[in-house]
Amino acid sequence: MREREEYCPKLLQSLLHLCQTQHCTYPALAQRTLVADWKVATSWHKDSTIYHVRGSSGSLLSAKTPLDPLASSSDIQATEQHVLESLYPLSPAIDLQEVNVYQEKNHLGFKDGFPYPHPHTVYLTEPCSTKAKFLPDQLRAKMIMVAFGGAVAKAKILFGEDVRTLPRPVVVQSVGTDGQLFHFMVLQLNTLDFTSNDGIKNLVWMDGDQALYETVAAKAQIKRKVVVVPAGVAGFKPQTFVKFWAMYLNGAV
Q: Where are the beta strands (DSSP E) in the chain?
A: 32-35, 39-46, 49-56, 59-63, 118-125, 165-177, 181-191, 203-211, 215-217, 221-223, 226-229, 232-234
| pLDDT tens figures, 58-117 | 999 999 999 999 999 999 999 999 988 888 888 888 888 888 888 889 999 999 899 999
Q: How confident is the model at residue 168 (pLDDT cuts 50, 70, 90)?
A: very high
**Does residue 95 sit within a domain?**
no
Q: For residues 224 and 247, what is the distance between their CA atoms, to the nearest angstrom?
A: 44
Instruction: Please say whether the beta carbons of 59 and 37 come within 8 A.
Output: yes
Q: Where are the beta strands (DSSP E) in 57-148?
A: 59-63, 118-125
Strand, helix or coil at 161? coil
Q: How confident is the model at residue 20 (pLDDT cuts 50, 70, 90)?
A: very high
What range defines the domain where residue 131 resides? Answer: 2-84+104-249
**Does residue 70 sit within a domain?**
yes
**Does residue 89 sit within a domain?**
no
**Does residue 90 sit within a domain?**
no
> Can you give the pLDDT at residue 193?
93
CA of 194: how far to CAs of 15, 54, 92, 169, 198, in Å? 38, 20, 13, 16, 9
**Does residue 94 sit within a domain?**
no
Residue 1 has pLDDT above 50, yes or no: no
| Reported pTM | 0.91
- The letter for the amino acid at 44 is W
- The letter for the amino acid at 248 is Y
Q: What residues contact residue 199 under an 8 Å CB cut-off, 6+ apart? A: 80, 165, 191, 193
Total domains present in the chain = 1
**Does residue 12 sit within a domain?**
yes
